[in-house]
Each structure stands twice: as C-alpha cells, then as structure tokens.
Structure 1
Amino acid sequence: MSFASLPFELRSLIWSLAVAPRHITINKVRAKGSFSNKHRQQGKDILYETSSTPPPALMHVCSESRQQAPYKRAFTAGTEPRWTWVNFELDIFCVSSLYAVSDMLSHRSEIQRLQIRTDDDIAIDWYEAATRYNGLSGVYQLENLGEIQVVLEPGDLMWGDVFKDWGLGRCPQDNITFLDEGSGLVLTGDQLKMVGDWRVVFSFDSEGNPPDPDRLSEEIAHVLDDSWHMTWAQIHELD
C-alpha cells in the first residue's frame, strides 16, 4: 500500500507527527547609506528580515504536506521583504546577544519560546548591558513569553542575580531555566542564585572538602545571617 492510498485522516496524523520544535535565529539586513535616526527608528533602513534556519521539511514534501503543515509566513518587514516559516507555539527563537531580541519585536505578541546566549556581547559585558544599559528591554516587550532558557557561559552564575533582582519580562518564573552546557545541568533561577551565593560567601574547609550538598541552603543562610557575626563597630571595640 502506498502512502497516497492511506485514508486522509491517517495521512494527516502522519504529517502532524512530523512537526517538531526548531531553533530559529532572525537577522535584519540593512541598506547601506545614511539614514536619519527617525528613519532608522521607523525601520526604513531595513531591506529584509532573514533566518539561517532551514525551512521546515514539510514545506518541501508535497502540496498536501504544505497544506497540513502548521506554519505561517512571518518576519516580512523591509523594503525588499522575504519571509520565514514559523510555528510560534513550538519554535524556539534564539539570540546570541541581549540586544538581538529587538530584531524580533515585529512579532512581540506571538513569540512564546526564547533561548538566550550572551557569547556575542563582546563590546560590553552582558551583565552591565542587562543591569545598566537597558539590555533586557527587548525581553520585557515580548508579550506572551511562556518559556525562557538561558545558556550559561562557563562559570557564569550572575544570571541568578538578574533573575532575582530584575526578572525576565512576563515569562512565568517557573518556566525559566538555566543550562550549563559544560556539565549538562539544568537549573531553576532559585537554584542558580543559591549556587552563586554559595560561591560568594562560603568556602571549602581546611582539608579542601566541599560542604554537604544536603545542608547547602542552611550554610548559606548561616553565613548571611548578620546576627551570628560581629559588626565592624564591635570588632573595633575589641582593639
């Protein structure tokens, strides 16, 4: 029996099973020449929006697969517009710089899943960008974010502070995770913050042994509790 001879309901089910989340990057190609700040803010220097992500396989199989595929044309801005096939419910939009989120704001109400890396934030430290230079403004403008994954650079624990002190837009905190590519660990924001606090206030014992992981939260609370320590004024009185 050929695929074409299968009942339509079965063929439709097979097409739906072929749909999978994709990682999508979006870039704006801008025209050369001088433009006023006003025209740049209006996007009149943009030729088109493009993506390096290949189109979904279903869009290349046959006319029926294209009709059944749950994708729409998106990112069509510019004077020479093109498009990218997108499933906003499944696809994960990826940025390698906090400021790159602004390239996706033409669909601010539709993007639901975001992955953030900061390996391209070379000109300015990403933490400074996030906390002092409005680097998170694009994330705040994504109106229906339901999931965020932050890929951590080696040893980078300061996202825990950003998570606690600044937040990541409208995304529910329970749906924000932090991926340490080196170890493969996936941490919640609270877990990452606790690890960062431990690194700042706690040290290995005299024999080089780490603390008991089951008591880590207790150790941090103990060290942060000022009632267990003398103030500088009290220490001065002892001299």
Structure 2
Amino acid sequence: MSFASLPYELRSHIWSLAVEPRRITKVRMKKSGGSFSKKQRQQGKDILYETTSTPPPALMHVCRESRQHAPYQRAFTAGTEPRWTWVNFELDIFCVSSLYSIEDIVSHRSEVQRLQIRTDDDDDWYESATTYRVLSILYEFVNLREIQVVLEPGDLMWGDVFTEQSFGDCPRENITFVHEGSGLVLTGPQLKLVSDWRMVFSFDSEGNPPEADRLSEEIEHALDDTWHLTMAQMHEVV
C-alpha cells in the first residue's frame, strides 16, 4: 500500500507528526545604502532584506498536500528585496549569539515566542546586561513565553542578572539556564543559589577553606545577606 492510498485523515495525522521544532539561527538584516529620512528609517524603508541561515522546513518540499498541512507562515518578508522563508513561531526557537544580536530580529518581535541567548560573540555581555540594560529590548517581544540562556563553562553571573534585570514580559518561571557541557538545566533561582553558594558559603575550587587571617572577614561577608540568598532561602529553592 502506498502512502497516497492511505485515508486522508491518516495522511493528515502523519503530516502533523512530521513537524519538529527548529532553531532559527544567524538572523541578520541588510540595509540599503541610499539616503532615508528618520521617518522612513522608522518605517523600515531602508531595509533591503532580513534573512536567516536556517533552511526552509523539509515538509514544505515534499508535495502540495504536505504544504497544505504544514503549520508554517511566511517570515522575513520585510524589505524591498525580501528573502523570506517559513517559520512556525509557536515551535521554532530564535537563537542569538550575543545580547546585541537580539536587535537583528526586526520585523517579527511581536511574533517570536521562544528565544535562545548565547554570549559566544560578546565578551562583555555582563556589562551589556547590567550597565547598558540591553535586555530591555525584550519588552518589544510581547508574545515571548520562553527564554533559554546557554551558559559557558564556569559562568554563573547570569544568576545575578536573573535577579536584578528584567526579561521583558516573559514569565520568570519559563526562563531557564542550560549548562552547555553537561546539559544540566537550571531555573533562575537555582542558578542564583549555585552562584551564591560558590561565592559565599563554599571553599575555593580546590576545596581549601579561607586563610586564617581572613576568616573573620569572610564570616562577616557571608553574614551580610543584603546581596545574596540566605541559607533559609536556599533551602526553599531546593
């Protein structure tokens, strides 16, 4: 029996099962070299195209019936020379390699629902997040419901960023932090716990206690709970 001879309802169900979440990567925008007024730039008249390195979903290349059942819509249609592709904003996750790359997502900020943030291309990401507050752009992503932050090895400062900075209207419980090496996934409070425990309550990376002449200073530092989680608060997180 061929696939085409299967009942229509069964074929439709199979097409729906073929849909998988994809990573929308390397989103970039190309602007025209012409002269534009401020109003024209605000309207996006100076944009040639937006594009992504992610290829179109395979389901759009199978046959007419697969395309009819594929839950995708045209995206990256902005500009005078658009290079559009197909995106499922509910399933696909937009991935950026630096905090400033979030700005490259221009015409679909109100539609993006899932966002992954890396800091591979941003050595000063902590200053960008805290001093320059570049995460404030996330308020323009009004339908954002999930954020994944990929942690570089040993990088725990995102715990402070989670506590002190805003991530737009994304629900705080849907913000997770992924350790790239192990695949461990932490919530914001869990990451803050790990960060504070390592900095305040634990020995150094080699298991050594503080030096004797600094012990009283370290104790006073640990007892000052105005800037870190207390042991009781850590217990609640666990």
What is the correspondence of 1:189-204 to structure 2 with a 5 Å cutoff?
Answer: 189-204=188-203
Tell me how far 1:39 sits from its aligned partner: 4.8
**Counterpart-to-counterpart distance in 2, 1:136 and 1:204:** 33
CA deviations over 1:45-94 (Å, ceiling 9, x no partner): 32101110011011000011011100000121111112120111100011
Task: Give me the whole-angstrom Cα distance separating, in 2, the residues matched to 1:89 and 1:203.
Answer: 41
Give the RMSD, CA atoms, in angstroms. 2.3
User: What's the counterpart of residue 131 of structure 1?
Assistant: 130
Aligned to 1:177: 176
Shift of 1:41: 4.1
Measured after TM superposition, the shift of residue 119 of structure 1 is 1.1
Aligned to 1:8: 8
CA deviation vs aligned residue, 1:188-239 (integer Å, no higher than 9, x gap): 100111111122212328x9379xxxxxxxxx9x93356xxxxxxxxxxxxx
2:79 is matched with 78
Provide the C-alpha distance between the structure 2 equivalents of 1:184 and 1:224, rounded to a whole number of angstroms: 33
Distance 1:131 1:5 in 2: 59
Q: Distance between the aligned counterparts of 1:28 and 1:101, measured in 2?
A: 11
What is the count of residue pairs matched by the alignment? Answer: 213
- Could you say which residue in structure 2 is the equivalent of 1:21? 21
- Distance in 1 of aligned mates of 2:122 and 2:95: 14
How many Å separate the matches in 2 of 1:13 and 1:90?
17
Q: TM-score, normalised by structure 1?
A: 0.81
Unaligned stretches of 5+ in structure 2?
A: 210-218, 226-238
Give the deviation of 1:144 after TM superposition: 1.1
| 8 Å CA contact retained: 1:105, 1:138 | no
Partner of 1:89: 90
Task: State the shift of 1:155 in Å.
Answer: 1.4
SS of residue in 2 equivalent to 1:106: coil
**Partner AA of 1:7 in structure 2:** P
Q: How far apart are the structure 1 equivalents of 2:152 and 2:41?
A: 32
Please give the TM-score of this superposition, normalised by the length of structure 2: 0.82
| Mapped partners of 2:190, 2:223: distance in 1 | 17
Identity of aligned residues (%): 77
Per-residue deviation, residues 90-143 of structure 1 (Å, max 9, x unmatched): 000111111222222422222111100111124xx1111111223112222110
Who is 1:60 aligned against? Answer: 61
Please report how far the alpha carbon of residue 34 of structure 1 lies from its aligned counterpart in structure 2 after TM superposition. Answer: 6.2
Q: Is the 8 A contact 1:105 1:142 kept in 2?
A: no
Go from structure 1 to structure 2 and tell me whether the alpha carbon gap of 1:37 and 1:201 turns closer, same or farther (over 3 Å shift). Answer: farther
- The whole-number CA distance in structure 2 between the counterparts of 1:137 and 1:37 is 22
Structure 1 consecutive aligned stretches of length 4 or more whose deviation exceeds 6 Å: none
- Give the equivalent residue in structure 1 for 2:167: 168
Letter in 2 for 1:145: L
Q: How does 1:30-41 map to 2 (within 5 A)?
A: 30-32=31-33, 39-41=40-42
User: Aligned with 1:43: secondary structure?
Assistant: coil
Q: Secondary structure at the match of 1:109?
A: coil
8 Å contact kept, 2:159–2:188: yes
Query: For 1:131-184, what per-residue CA distance to the aligned partner results, in whole angstroms no more than 9, with x for missing partners?
Result: 122311222211011111000112111111111111311111111110011222
